[in-house]
Amino acid sequence: MSAPVVPPTRPPVPAYGVLGRLLPSGPPPRAMSLLERNMRAYRRAWLLLLSGFVEPVMYLFGLGIGLGQLVGDVTTDSGRLVPYALFVAPALMASAAMNGAVFDSTFNVFFKLKYSRLYDSVLATPLGPRDVAVGETSWALVRGSLYAAAFFVVLALAGLVRTPWALLMLPSALLVGWAFASVGMAVTTYMRSWQDLDVVQIAIVPLFLFSATFYPVSTYPTSVAWLVQLSPLYHGVALLRGCALEDLGWGLLGHAAVLVGLGLAGVAVTERRLRSLLLR
Protein backbone atom coordinates (compact mmCIF):
# COMPACT_ATOMS: atom_id res chain seq x y z
CA MET A 1 0.00 0.00 0.00
CA SER A 2 1.53 3.26 -1.14
CA ALA A 3 1.99 6.17 1.23
CA PRO A 4 -0.40 9.11 0.82
CA VAL A 5 0.88 11.97 -1.28
CA VAL A 6 1.35 15.10 0.79
CA PRO A 7 1.00 18.27 -1.27
CA PRO A 8 3.93 20.66 -1.01
CA THR A 9 3.38 23.43 1.48
CA ARG A 10 3.98 27.03 0.60
CA PRO A 11 6.40 29.02 2.71
CA PRO A 12 4.62 31.25 5.20
CA VAL A 13 3.94 34.78 4.04
CA PRO A 14 5.92 37.25 6.11
CA ALA A 15 3.87 39.53 8.33
CA TYR A 16 5.69 42.56 7.02
CA GLY A 17 3.71 43.22 3.83
CA VAL A 18 4.86 44.78 0.58
CA LEU A 19 6.72 47.57 2.35
CA GLY A 20 9.04 45.06 3.95
CA ARG A 21 9.91 43.49 0.59
CA LEU A 22 10.63 46.89 -0.96
CA LEU A 23 13.05 48.06 1.70
CA PRO A 24 16.62 46.91 0.91
CA SER A 25 17.68 46.84 4.54
CA GLY A 26 15.51 43.83 5.29
CA PRO A 27 12.09 43.42 6.82
CA PRO A 28 11.03 46.21 9.19
CA PRO A 29 9.07 45.55 12.38
CA ARG A 30 5.69 43.90 11.96
CA ALA A 31 4.06 47.26 12.62
CA MET A 32 4.72 48.15 8.99
CA SER A 33 1.92 45.74 8.01
CA LEU A 34 -0.56 47.95 9.85
CA LEU A 35 0.92 51.02 8.21
CA GLU A 36 0.49 49.39 4.81
CA ARG A 37 -3.12 48.49 5.67
CA ASN A 38 -3.89 52.16 6.32
CA MET A 39 -2.18 53.22 3.12
CA ARG A 40 -4.31 50.79 1.13
CA ALA A 41 -7.49 51.97 2.88
CA TYR A 42 -6.81 55.57 1.84
CA ARG A 43 -5.50 54.91 -1.65
CA ARG A 44 -8.73 56.23 -3.19
CA ALA A 45 -9.22 59.04 -0.69
CA TRP A 46 -5.89 60.82 -0.90
CA LEU A 47 -7.58 64.21 -1.29
CA LEU A 48 -9.07 63.70 2.17
CA LEU A 49 -5.56 63.30 3.56
CA LEU A 50 -4.54 66.73 2.32
CA SER A 51 -7.69 68.54 3.41
CA GLY A 52 -6.35 69.25 6.90
CA PHE A 53 -3.73 71.73 5.75
CA VAL A 54 -6.37 74.05 4.25
CA GLU A 55 -7.10 75.79 7.56
CA PRO A 56 -3.43 76.74 8.25
CA VAL A 57 -3.14 77.98 4.65
CA MET A 58 -6.16 80.24 5.17
CA TYR A 59 -4.55 81.60 8.35
CA LEU A 60 -1.32 82.15 6.41
CA PHE A 61 -2.91 84.27 3.69
CA GLY A 62 -5.51 85.91 5.94
CA LEU A 63 -3.32 86.78 8.93
CA GLY A 64 0.27 86.21 7.93
CA ILE A 65 0.14 88.00 4.59
CA GLY A 66 -3.07 90.06 4.85
CA LEU A 67 -2.71 91.34 8.40
CA GLY A 68 1.05 91.29 7.98
CA GLN A 69 0.77 94.27 5.63
CA LEU A 70 -0.51 96.29 8.58
CA VAL A 71 1.73 94.79 11.26
CA GLY A 72 4.95 95.13 9.29
CA ASP A 73 8.06 93.64 10.89
CA VAL A 74 8.18 91.92 14.27
CA THR A 75 11.06 91.28 16.64
CA THR A 76 11.65 87.61 17.40
CA ASP A 77 12.66 86.31 20.81
CA SER A 78 16.26 86.19 19.60
CA GLY A 79 16.15 89.90 18.71
CA ARG A 80 15.88 89.62 14.91
CA LEU A 81 13.55 91.86 12.90
CA VAL A 82 11.59 89.83 10.32
CA PRO A 83 8.42 90.32 8.26
CA TYR A 84 5.30 89.14 10.06
CA ALA A 85 4.41 86.62 7.34
CA LEU A 86 7.85 85.04 7.63
CA PHE A 87 7.42 84.89 11.41
CA VAL A 88 4.01 83.20 11.28
CA ALA A 89 4.66 80.75 8.41
CA PRO A 90 6.81 78.16 10.32
CA ALA A 91 4.33 78.16 13.22
CA LEU A 92 1.44 77.41 10.87
CA MET A 93 3.44 74.60 9.29
CA ALA A 94 3.96 73.08 12.74
CA SER A 95 0.22 73.46 13.33
CA ALA A 96 -0.51 71.64 10.07
CA ALA A 97 1.64 68.70 11.19
CA MET A 98 -0.13 68.71 14.57
CA ASN A 99 -3.59 68.78 12.99
CA GLY A 100 -2.95 65.81 10.72
CA ALA A 101 -1.35 63.69 13.43
CA VAL A 102 -3.95 64.45 16.11
CA PHE A 103 -6.98 63.90 13.88
CA ASP A 104 -5.85 60.46 12.79
CA SER A 105 -4.55 59.29 16.17
CA THR A 106 -7.75 60.26 18.00
CA PHE A 107 -10.95 60.07 15.94
CA ASN A 108 -9.84 57.29 13.59
CA VAL A 109 -8.12 55.24 16.29
CA PHE A 110 -11.14 55.56 18.59
CA PHE A 111 -13.43 54.19 15.86
CA LYS A 112 -11.10 51.25 15.20
CA LEU A 113 -10.72 50.53 18.90
CA LYS A 114 -14.32 50.82 20.12
CA TYR A 115 -16.56 50.21 17.10
CA SER A 116 -14.94 48.32 14.23
CA ARG A 117 -12.84 46.26 16.70
CA LEU A 118 -10.02 46.24 14.20
CA TYR A 119 -7.33 45.69 16.81
CA ASP A 120 -9.02 42.56 18.12
CA SER A 121 -8.49 41.05 14.67
CA VAL A 122 -4.96 42.43 14.41
CA LEU A 123 -3.93 40.77 17.68
CA ALA A 124 -5.09 37.42 16.30
CA THR A 125 -2.12 37.67 13.91
CA PRO A 126 1.59 37.69 14.86
CA LEU A 127 1.25 41.41 15.64
CA GLY A 128 1.25 42.51 19.28
CA PRO A 129 0.18 45.63 21.20
CA ARG A 130 3.53 47.32 20.53
CA ASP A 131 3.13 46.70 16.78
CA VAL A 132 -0.33 48.28 16.92
CA ALA A 133 0.98 51.30 18.81
CA VAL A 134 3.94 51.82 16.47
CA GLY A 135 1.94 51.08 13.30
CA GLU A 136 -0.91 53.47 14.04
CA THR A 137 1.45 56.16 15.31
CA SER A 138 3.50 55.79 12.13
CA TRP A 139 0.40 56.22 9.98
CA ALA A 140 -0.66 59.33 11.91
CA LEU A 141 2.90 60.59 11.44
CA VAL A 142 2.64 59.98 7.68
CA ARG A 143 -0.61 61.94 7.55
CA GLY A 144 0.83 64.84 9.54
CA SER A 145 3.91 64.82 7.30
CA LEU A 146 1.73 65.04 4.19
CA TYR A 147 0.04 68.10 5.65
CA ALA A 148 3.38 69.70 6.46
CA ALA A 149 4.91 68.88 3.06
CA ALA A 150 1.91 70.35 1.22
CA PHE A 151 2.12 73.45 3.39
CA PHE A 152 5.84 73.76 2.67
CA VAL A 153 5.08 73.81 -1.07
CA VAL A 154 2.61 76.65 -0.45
CA LEU A 155 5.28 78.55 1.49
CA ALA A 156 7.76 78.13 -1.35
CA LEU A 157 5.24 79.36 -3.92
CA ALA A 158 4.43 82.36 -1.70
CA GLY A 159 8.11 83.30 -1.50
CA LEU A 160 8.42 82.56 2.21
CA VAL A 161 11.27 80.04 1.87
CA ARG A 162 14.34 82.27 1.82
CA THR A 163 17.19 80.07 3.01
CA PRO A 164 18.35 76.52 2.25
CA TRP A 165 18.19 75.85 5.99
CA ALA A 166 14.41 76.06 5.68
CA LEU A 167 14.49 72.52 4.28
CA LEU A 168 15.16 71.38 7.85
CA MET A 169 11.56 72.30 8.59
CA LEU A 170 10.48 69.06 6.89
CA PRO A 171 12.25 66.63 9.28
CA SER A 172 11.34 68.97 12.15
CA ALA A 173 7.69 68.65 11.16
CA LEU A 174 8.15 64.87 11.37
CA LEU A 175 9.10 65.25 15.03
CA VAL A 176 6.05 67.44 15.67
CA GLY A 177 3.78 64.90 13.98
CA TRP A 178 5.31 61.97 15.86
CA ALA A 179 5.00 63.66 19.25
CA PHE A 180 1.35 64.59 18.77
CA ALA A 181 0.44 61.26 17.15
CA SER A 182 1.91 59.30 20.06
CA VAL A 183 0.34 61.43 22.76
CA GLY A 184 -2.96 61.58 20.88
CA MET A 185 -3.23 57.82 20.59
CA ALA A 186 -2.28 57.36 24.25
CA VAL A 187 -5.04 59.77 25.30
CA THR A 188 -7.55 58.04 23.00
CA THR A 189 -7.11 54.72 24.81
CA TYR A 190 -8.64 56.34 27.92
CA MET A 191 -11.75 57.62 26.11
CA ARG A 192 -15.07 55.80 26.42
CA SER A 193 -17.46 57.71 24.11
CA TRP A 194 -17.48 60.15 21.22
CA GLN A 195 -18.26 62.95 23.66
CA ASP A 196 -14.87 62.42 25.25
CA LEU A 197 -13.27 63.48 21.96
CA ASP A 198 -14.54 67.00 22.58
CA VAL A 199 -11.61 67.26 24.97
CA VAL A 200 -9.30 67.00 21.95
CA GLN A 201 -10.80 70.11 20.37
CA ILE A 202 -10.76 71.93 23.68
CA ALA A 203 -7.03 71.22 23.97
CA ILE A 204 -6.06 71.87 20.34
CA VAL A 205 -7.52 75.38 20.04
CA PRO A 206 -5.56 76.91 22.97
CA LEU A 207 -2.41 75.13 21.82
CA PHE A 208 -2.85 76.63 18.35
CA LEU A 209 -3.52 80.15 19.59
CA PHE A 210 -1.14 80.37 22.54
CA SER A 211 2.08 78.59 21.53
CA ALA A 212 3.91 81.66 20.23
CA THR A 213 2.16 80.98 16.94
CA PHE A 214 1.19 84.57 16.18
CA TYR A 215 3.23 86.53 18.75
CA PRO A 216 6.72 86.19 20.23
CA VAL A 217 6.91 84.87 23.78
CA SER A 218 8.33 88.23 24.89
CA THR A 219 4.95 89.89 24.23
CA TYR A 220 3.22 87.75 26.87
CA PRO A 221 3.20 88.77 30.55
CA THR A 222 5.83 87.03 32.61
CA SER A 223 3.18 85.12 34.51
CA VAL A 224 1.89 83.66 31.23
CA ALA A 225 5.11 83.26 29.25
CA TRP A 226 6.27 80.24 31.25
CA LEU A 227 2.91 78.56 30.62
CA VAL A 228 3.27 79.16 26.88
CA GLN A 229 6.67 77.48 26.91
CA LEU A 230 5.16 74.36 28.49
CA SER A 231 3.04 73.81 25.38
CA PRO A 232 4.30 70.92 23.23
CA LEU A 233 3.36 72.87 20.11
CA TYR A 234 5.58 75.74 21.29
CA HIS A 235 8.63 73.49 21.02
CA GLY A 236 7.61 72.52 17.49
CA VAL A 237 7.02 76.14 16.54
CA ALA A 238 10.38 77.22 17.98
CA LEU A 239 12.16 74.38 16.16
CA LEU A 240 10.62 75.13 12.75
CA ARG A 241 10.96 78.89 13.20
CA GLY A 242 14.67 78.55 13.99
CA CYS A 243 15.19 76.58 10.78
CA ALA A 244 13.12 78.97 8.65
CA LEU A 245 14.86 82.10 9.96
CA GLU A 246 18.33 80.50 9.99
CA ASP A 247 18.38 81.16 13.72
CA LEU A 248 20.28 77.99 14.57
CA GLY A 249 21.65 77.18 18.00
CA TRP A 250 21.92 74.55 20.70
CA GLY A 251 18.48 75.52 21.97
CA LEU A 252 16.91 73.85 18.95
CA LEU A 253 18.27 70.52 20.14
CA GLY A 254 16.44 71.04 23.41
CA HIS A 255 13.16 71.61 21.57
CA ALA A 256 13.78 68.48 19.47
CA ALA A 257 14.57 66.46 22.62
CA VAL A 258 11.23 67.46 24.18
CA LEU A 259 9.35 66.26 21.07
CA VAL A 260 11.29 62.99 21.00
CA GLY A 261 10.55 62.43 24.69
CA LEU A 262 6.84 63.02 24.14
CA GLY A 263 6.84 60.56 21.24
CA LEU A 264 8.57 57.81 23.23
CA ALA A 265 6.34 58.35 26.25
CA GLY A 266 3.19 58.25 24.09
CA VAL A 267 4.14 54.96 22.43
CA ALA A 268 4.99 53.38 25.80
CA VAL A 269 1.67 54.42 27.35
CA THR A 270 -0.28 53.30 24.28
CA GLU A 271 1.34 49.88 24.32
CA ARG A 272 0.54 49.38 28.00
CA ARG A 273 -3.05 50.54 27.57
CA LEU A 274 -3.69 48.33 24.53
CA ARG A 275 -2.25 45.37 26.38
CA SER A 276 -4.67 45.92 29.27
CA LEU A 277 -7.68 46.63 27.04
CA LEU A 278 -7.29 43.91 24.41
CA LEU A 279 -5.39 41.10 26.15
CA ARG A 280 -7.57 40.54 29.19
For the segment 53-65, the average pLDDT, to the nearest whole number, is 69
pTM of the model: 0.80
On the question of pLDDT at 10 being above 70, the answer is: no
Taking alpha carbons only, the member of 182, 156, 179 closest to residue 169 is 156
Largest CA distance in the chain: 97
For the segment 263-274, the average pLDDT, to the nearest whole number, is 88
Is residue 43 within 8 A of residue 137, CB to CB? The reply is: no
> Lowest-pLDDT range, 3-17, 46-60, 92-106, 163-177?
3-17
Taking alpha carbons only, the member of 158, 180, 167 closest to residue 270 is 180
For the segment 231-253, the average pLDDT, to the nearest whole number, is 88
More confident residue, 257 or 66: 257
- pLDDT, position 234: 92
Q: Where are the beta strands (DSSP E) in 138-268?
A: none
Distant-in-sequence contacts of 242-245, Cβ < 8 A, 24+ apart: 243/90, 243/165, 243/166, 243/167, 243/168, 243/169, 243/172, 244/86, 244/89, 244/90, 244/160, 244/161, 244/163, 244/165, 244/166, 244/169, 245/76, 245/80, 245/82, 245/86, 245/87, 245/90, 245/163
Contacts of residue 280, defined as CB under 8 A and 6 or more positions apart, other chains included, come to none
Q: Apex CA 97: angle with CA 210 and CA 92, to 5°?
A: 45
Q: Mean pLDDT, the chain, as a whole number? A: 78
HEC profile for 155-168? HHHCCCCCCHHHHH
Q: Residue 116: how many CB atoms within 10 A of its CB?
A: 10
- pLDDT, position 68: 64
